[in-house]
Amino acid sequence: MTNTAVVARRLAVGYGGRAVLSGIDAYLKAGGSTALVGSNGSGKSTL
């Protein structure tokens, strides 16, 4: 990917042995804007 500033592949997060996010891939372009939206408790801050 050209002009990629951040790459995350197979990102996973868990609490107390329980997976809460898994298999997250993200490619953020340099100079672009990205928004992460969702309801309360959906994992935005965790991600």
* pLDDT of amino acid 46: 81
Q: Look at residue 1 and tell me whether its pLDDT is greater than 70.
A: no
| Cα(6)–Cα(42) distance, integer angstroms | 22
For the stretch 4-47, pLDDT in tens is: 999 999 999 888 999 988 999 999 999 989 899 999 988 888 87
Any idea what the Cα angle at residue 9 is, between residues 12 and 20, rounded to 5°? Answer: 15
| Cα(23)–Cα(29) distance, integer angstroms | 20
Higher pLDDT, 22 or 2: 22
